[in-house]
Amino acid sequence: NLVAHLRRAAPQVKIVPAGCSIGAAVLWTYVELFGCADFAGFVFVDQAPLQDRSEFDGWDESKAHTGCYDEKSMLGAQKFWINESKAAHIDLVDGCLGYRAKPDPKDDISAEKRKEDEDFFTGISTLCDQTWLARLLADHTRYDHREAIEMISVPTLVMAGRRSGCFPLEGMLETVRRVEKNRPGLAKESVYESGHWLFYEEPEKFNKEIGEFVDQCTR
């Protein structure tokens, strides 16, 4: 409905959506259902096209989600979010901020900043209905978007955090390979020295690259 509204209200405007994490999966689902003619380009941020592992094609721990990758781990994550929400919120921060997921001796993050970050993100998590988050997780982690990505026919930018505690880099860069399977040169990647929330850890670089990519897509 939003895309249809924008098309009616401003038909001359070119749209380049940026999907971060599950937002990337939302856009892949849109492409599968409706194609990509409504968009001038896509940005996908720190998300693999399949979270679960698959025994059929070598989609293993080198590409799948690090913590939620099959029925057992998904059910465990659901119970964790519903029954131990406070601990789950902190665990989410641990996995999504690069300096907590994959610490580096060169990190210069003060105790005050660490506390500020944790309070900010756990505060956001508490606003959500935990049961619905658990249900969303089940739907999200099982869905395989790899073939849908091959349908993309507009310029694509894939952004990934090298220190993401959610996905291996190889899994996230699969999107580039899938787009280029049928259209070589249409997709490009940008790897950050941060975690899953790379837009938070490296905001200036993130905003600059998004702006430049949108300019290229909308000229």
Cα 44 from Cα 160, distance rounded (Å)? 8
- For the chain, give the mean pLDDT: 96
Contact present, 14 and 218 (Cβ < 8 Å): yes
Mean pLDDT calculated for residue range 48-59: 95
Q: Which domain holds residue 109?
A: 71-140
Question: Which domain-ending residue is among 140, 169, 188?
Answer: 140
In a domain? residue 3: no
DSSP per residue over 69-114, as a string?
A: -SHHHHHHHHHHHHHSHHHHHHHHHHHHSHHHHS--TT----HHHH
Does residue 214 sit in the same domain as residue 177? Answer: yes
Query: How many domains does the chain divide into?
Result: 2
CATH number at residue 151: 3.40.50.1820
Global pTM? 0.94
Mean pLDDT calculated for residue range 58-83: 96
Cα 128 from Cα 122, distance rounded (Å)? 10
What would you measure as the largest C-alpha separation in the chain, in angstroms?
A: 52
In the sheet that 156-161 helps form, which strands lie side by side, from edge to edge? 18-20, 42-45, 156-161, 187-192
Does residue 199 sit in the same domain as residue 97? Answer: no
Total Cβ atoms within 10 A of residue 154:
18
Q: Per residue in 137-149, pLDDT tens? A: 888 899 999 999 9
In a domain? residue 96: yes
What is the pLDDT at residue 131?
93
In a domain? residue 9: no
What is the pLDDT at residue 1?
80
